[in-house]
């Protein structure tokens, strides 16, 4: 009597090889780093990256940029104050307000290990910061307007 419920040897080997390749990839991958105005920001949750986007832990980023972050757990509302600007958004929602004016975020904020993550473009759009995500080097670099970083090229010129 043949047992059709058992997986074939070929399927078992293919599954084992796939799992091995995936685990080696995870083990060798380096979490993305984040810097603000040339200074590395250390957070207990690393930025979450995709091929072209980076999502950053907003409290660590805001604190490093000289802003303040408040979170209302009951409503899921995140309030960020940076200079004279105030950004309010809710977990899981793309609708937000910047200085009381409704805006739509490219991606809704979400939580990773207790930290609120937002798309790096939120920082750029809301506070005029310049954000670069370098996928090859796994880096998220944020430069605030008016800040000069020693040894860094001027962002406003394309000349060498």
For residue 151, give both structure tokens.
């040894």
49 part of a folded domain: yes
pLDDT for 33: 86
What is the per-residue pLDDT across 25-43, written as a single tens digit (0 to 9) for each? 554 456 788 888 888 988 8
134 part of a folded domain: yes
CATH of the domain at 129: 3.30.457.10
Instruction: Give the span between the Cα atoms of 2 and 5, in whole angstroms.
Output: 9
Cβ–Cβ < 8 Å for 39, 146: no
56 part of a folded domain: yes
Instruction: Give the span between the Cα atoms of 38 and 40, in whole angstroms.
Output: 7
Range of the domain at 102: 31-143
133 part of a folded domain: yes
7 part of a folded domain: no
Q: How many domains does the chain have?
A: 1
150 part of a folded domain: no
For residue 160, give both structure tokens.
């060498």
- Listed residue (128, 112, 113) closest to 54, CA to CA: 112
Instruction: Give the span between the Cα atoms of 57 and 70, in whole angstroms.
Output: 13
Residues of the chain whose pLDDT is less than 50? 27-28, 154-160
């Amino acid at each position: 009597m043949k047992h059709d419920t058992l997986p074939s040897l070929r399927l078992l080997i293919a599954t084992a090889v796939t799992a091995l390749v995936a685990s080696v990839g995870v083990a060798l991958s380096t979490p993305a780093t984040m810097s603000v105005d040339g200074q590395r920001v250390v957070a207990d949750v690393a930025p979450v990256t995709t091929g072209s986007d980076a999502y950053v832990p907003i409290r660590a980023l805001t604190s490093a940029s000289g802003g303040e972050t408040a979170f209302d757990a009951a409503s899921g509302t995140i309030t960020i104050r940076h200079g004279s600007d105030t950004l309010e958004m809710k977990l899981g929602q793309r609708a937000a307000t910047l200085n009381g004016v409704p805006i739509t975020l490219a991606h809704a904020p979400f939580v990773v290990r207790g930290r609120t993550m937002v798309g790096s473009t939120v920082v750029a759009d809301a506070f005029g910061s310049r954000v670069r995500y370098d996928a090859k080097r796994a880096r998220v670099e944020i430069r605030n307007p008016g800040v000069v970083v020693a040894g860094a090229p001027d962002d406003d010129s394309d000349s060498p």
